[in-house]
Structures are given as C-alpha cells and as structure tokens.
Chains A and B, each alone.
Chain A
Amino acid sequence: MKSFSSDAQAAIVERYPSHFRPDWWSRAKITIGLGTAVALFLFGIAQLDIPFHRLSDGMARLGGFLRLMLPPDPGSWAEALKYLNALGETVSIAFLGTLGGALLALPVALLAARNVVANRIVHFFSRRSLDTIRGVDILIWALIWVGVVGLGPFAGILAVICSDFGTFGKLFSEAIEAADKNPAEGVRSAGGNHLHGVRFGLLPQVFPILLSQVLYYFESNTRSATIIGIVGAGGIGLQLAEQIRVLEWQKVSFLILLILIAVSAIDWISGKLRFAIIGRRAVA
C-alpha cells in the first residue's frame, strides 16, 4: 500500500470510481442492524434489571469458589466409587435413551418423509407432532416421567427417549427425503411393491447416515443426561446438584472432571465408530 505514490492512487480512484465510492445503503444497513442489536441488549439490561454492582461482587465470590475447588477431591474412596456408579448410570441413561428414541423414531420418520408416504395429511400431522415433542425441553420431560415412574435413572431414560424421539424423527425424515430415488424406482420397475422399494431401495442408502446421527447424539445425550439429575432423574447430575447446594467445592470439581473425561471418551469412541461406518464424510 505504501509504495503507491499519491497521484498514482488518485489515478486508480479516477479509473474505478465505483469501487471507491462509499456504498451508503449497505453501510446504513449494517449500522442499523448493529444499532438494533446493541439497543436490544441495553433494553435487556434495563428490563431484566441487571445489577452491575452484583457483577463485581459475584466475580469475587466466584473466584473464591474456584480457589476452593482446587484440587479436585472426592473426599474418600467410598465417595469416589459412589460417583463412578452415578457416572455409569448417566452413561446408561444416555445409551438406552438414544437407542430407544432412535428405534421409536424410525417408523414415525418414515411416515413423515414425503417420498415414503405421499399423503399430505399424514405428513403434516406427523411433522407437527414431532415439532411439539421437540419444543419441550428434556428437563420438563424428566419432571413428567419422575411423576410417573418415580425418582431414579429409569425416569431419566424415558425422558431422553421422549426428547430424542422428536429430534431423531425430524433428522431421520430429512435424511430419508434427501435420499436418491433411483434405487427405489429400480426395485419397483423390477416388480417390487412400494414396501419393497422402501426396504431394498431406500433403507440401505439412508441406514449409515441414520446410524452416524445416532452415534453423534449419543455423545450429546451424555451431556444432557448429566443435567436431568437436577430434577431427580438419576445419574451424576443428582450428585452434582447436591454437592453444589452444600458447597462442597472440591467434590463439585471432581464431579465436573469426571463428566469432562466421560464425555470426551464417548466423543472419541463414537467418532471412531462413525468413521468406520460412513468414512470421512461430513455428517449433516
């Protein structure tokens, strides 16, 4: 830039005026957009009545908590074993929840896919009911199931199944709709009926994709399964919420450490399995 002399620069400006003229319209759009975002943020501060003096006090207190958290310490061997058991519960909740949700979602996803069931009404209702289920957070499902089967990990499993049912139904039906329709047409032209077309033309294409989505969600469900313990649905979240409430910070940090290790281990395993199933392909 510096090597240009000023008159050479002027010549360039003269030759390409459109590139150097400020584009007022797009600048105005950006300014308005940013202005609205900042204004909404300020409005939020006012509306939510966020106390700034508490921010600094809270930071100091948070620093104190952090200092108390180190080093992570479960207290005793018995406690450590109890926490490992809770971690096993959490992983079980995630595993069975993902599995059950996927098994239940597959038939509904077929109903919700436009290229399997061409009926508009069926399509509309299955989509909307899946959306409704997805709109309810997993914690709310956990609350409901705790009321049905009582406290404990079983309620957690059922909650994960419910919330995954909605998610998988949507993802699966999208994957099925995106499938190539030629194999199914081939099966039908060779004399198969519609169901044969779905079974031999469609499912073999989409099955690896569905499997990789399930594996991906196993990891993310391990994270959600850690929190449903907060409302009493078993697993490590129950211990974590309890230890936070009684301010046992060393145990809290030990539990968080356990969760971090478990999640990254499951992430690693499910990543390996996914690559083994579909190769290094991007997962939608």
Chain B
Amino acid sequence: MGRSRDLPIPALEKSMRTAVPEFPEARLQELADRYADAVAAKRRRVWLGSAVLIAAALAAGWMGDVDFRKFAENFWRFPAYFASIAPTFSFSSAWNDLSEWLWGLPRWTLLLGDTLLIAYMGTLSGAICGFVLCFLASANLVRSRTIVFVTRRLLEFCRTVPDIVFALIFVLAFGLGPLPGVLAIAIHTTGALGKQFAEVVENIDNKPIEGVAASGGSWIQIVRFGAVPQVLSNFVSYALLRFEINVRGAAVMGFVGAGGIGQDLIEAVRKFYYSDVSAILLLIIVTVMLFDFITERVRHRLLGLEGTGA
C-alpha cells in the first residue's frame, strides 16, 4: 500500500490491473448468474412481504371501519379543535388574558400533585411486590419449575390487563377517589416491573450465588447477599422508568373516576370548556416532560455509576 502510493499514475494503473485477478469468461458468467439469483430472491422476498403487509392492512382497514371520505370531509375539525382550545391573547391585556386562561391554577396544581402522588404510591407498592415476586420467577434461583411457571403467569396477567381496566373494576369495589387509582397502578406495575426484574436476575453472574450457597446460606441469604447487590441499580433504573410511565397513566385515571387531574380534563372536554382543555393539557404535558427529564438524569447517573464498577 505504502509503495503503490509513490508510483507515478500510469504505473499505478498497470499494477492495479494486474492486482485484480481476471476470471475466465465461463466462471465470470456463473458468478454473475449467482449474484443475479441472489438479488432476485431478495427482491422476491421483499415483494412477497409487501404483498402480505398490504393485504393485512386492507383486511384491518375493512375491520376497523377506515373511511377516507369521512376522514377527508372531517379532517378540518382536527386543526379547528386545536384552534378553538387555543387561549385568546391580545397584546394590550396579555397579563389579564393569561390569568383568565389559567384561572384554575391553584386547583389544578393541587390535582396535579395528587396525580403525582398516585403515580408515586402505585409505583412504590408495585415495585415492592415486583421485587418480591421477581426472585420467584427466576429459573436460576428457584429449583421448582411449578413456582417459576405460576409466578410468571401471574405477572403476565397483571401486566396484560391495562391499568385503567383494573381501575374501572376497583372503582366499583372501593368507591370513587384516588384509592382505586393507586391500587390499579400498583398491580399493573407489579406485573411490568416483575417481568423486567426477573429478566435482570436471570442474567446475573452465578458465582456469588454459588458462593453463598456453598458456604451454607439459606435461600433468603442467597438472594440477599448473592443476587440483590448485583441487580439493585438496574432495578432502581427500571422503577424510575416505570414511574415516568405511571405519571402519564395517573393523569388519565380520573377518566374513570379514580382520582387526579383526569377528572377535570374529561369534564372540560365533555362540556366544551375549550380554554380549560388547553390549560390542563399544557399543565399535564409540562409536568410529564419535567419528570421525564428528572428521571432520565437520575437514571443516567445510576447506570453511569454501575458502569464504573461501583
């Protein structure tokens, strides 16, 4: 390489021509055919995939009542809705307009605080339940297949049924208010975190576990001293991520009467209090973004610490 760079251009061209081996025509043809075959096969696969996709999309469109005419006729309502919920501001009285728009700020702030507390309490109780259950769902810690299987199915059930469905049922059992919201989020979080925790536990280093077992530790001691120190920072990171998701979830819990700001939002939407809708939506979005930002910071710090082997 270093040598050829020094050669003058014509000599370089000559050396390149000899460096590239030239196949006899028949061999070349065979290679070209095989290349064409490979390309054609790939192209066929792509066409087949697209055909299946389009067929599925058409079937789903028929099933889901997709109506482009209705869509085209009514689409103007979508931007119009945003235009109508937008607050009115005039230059001369901007401050008055602002205070009028956010007239319910004290009440909404209180409700947002409730929403955050619902998310927090649900996440904490769910994380504790998930923490207890995840060790039972890990095949590397539990010998009995039955316990692992049953725990996993239980977690799957808690995860698959959406939290708002639990909230609907709990509102009937516990009455209106934040309690059903907290419980619904707790159960859903148990399922979601239990699964993620169990995946973390199954990927840990087995040597500390064997060490504790070899020196006569009980199952609890194996978990406490062999597994937990390895997984704790990952657990906290997942729990924070789940808290972020639960803040969003708690904001709509009020739709079914389970506390928080959702109650006011759906009332404003249903009763066409347009400027209230935009004010509440804005508050929710700002809160969600703020908590996204905070939890992301904390998570990066946690995982960073873990990366340095602390």
| Chain B: interface residue total (CB-CB under 8 A) | 61
Q: A18-44, CB under 8 A of B: which get 1 and which 0?
A: 000000000000000000010011011
Q: Does B178 reach chain A (CB closer than 8 Å)?
A: yes
| Chain A: interface residue total (CB-CB under 8 A) | 66
A138 to B, closest residue via Cβ: B252
For chain A, residues 42 to 88, give those with C-beta under 8 angstroms from any C-beta of chain B. Answer: 43-45, 47-51, 54-55, 57-59, 61-62, 65, 88
- Chain A, interface SS category: helix
Q: Point out the residues of chain A lying under 8 angstroms from B288, CB to CB.
A: 135
For chain B, residues 164 to 220, give those with C-beta under 8 angstroms from any C-beta of chain A. Answer: 164-165, 168-170, 172-175, 177-179, 182, 215-216
Q: Point out the residues of chain A lying under 8 angstroms from B117, CB to CB.
A: 40, 43-44, 47-48
CA gap between A24 and B269 in the complex, in Å: 54
Other-chain residue from A1, A153, A264 in contact with B64 (beta carbon distance below 8 A): A153
CA gap between A178 and B3 in the complex, in Å: 37
Q: Does A143 reach chain B (CB closer than 8 Å)?
A: yes
For chain A, residues 260 to 282, give those with C-beta under 8 angstroms from any C-beta of chain B. Answer: 260, 263-264
* Known A-B contacts A50-B178, A137-B249; A96 and B164 likewise in contact (beta carbons under 8 Å): no
* Known A-B contacts A44-B117, A89-B63, A92-B60; A136 and B281 likewise in contact (beta carbons under 8 Å): yes
For chain A, residues 226 to 284, give those with C-beta under 8 angstroms from any C-beta of chain B. Answer: 226-227, 230-231, 234, 237, 240-241, 244, 247, 252, 256, 259-260, 263-264
Are A58 and B170 in contact, CB atoms less than 8 angstroms apart? Answer: yes
CA gap between A57 and B66 in the complex, in Å: 45
Are A65 and B78 in contact, CB atoms less than 8 angstroms apart? Answer: no
Question: Can you report 5 residue pairs joining A to B where beta carbons are below 8 Å apart?
Answer: A43-B117, A54-B174, A139-B252, A147-B269, A148-B77
Chain B contacts to A: CB under 8 angstroms: 53, 56-57, 59-61, 63-67, 70-71, 74-75, 77-78, 81, 113-114, 117-118, 120-121, 124, 156-157, 160-162, 164-165, 168-170, 172-175, 177-179, 182, 215-216, 248-249, 251-252, 255-256, 259, 265-266, 269, 281, 284-285, 288-289, 292
The 5 closest A-B pairs by CB, nearest first: A58-B174, A92-B60, A92-B64, A135-B285, A92-B63
Chain A contacts to B: CB under 8 angstroms: 1, 37, 40-41, 43-45, 47-51, 54-55, 57-59, 61-62, 65, 88-89, 91-93, 95-96, 99, 131-132, 135-137, 139-140, 143-145, 147-150, 152-154, 156-158, 223-224, 226-227, 230-231, 234, 237, 240-241, 244, 247, 252, 256, 259-260, 263-264
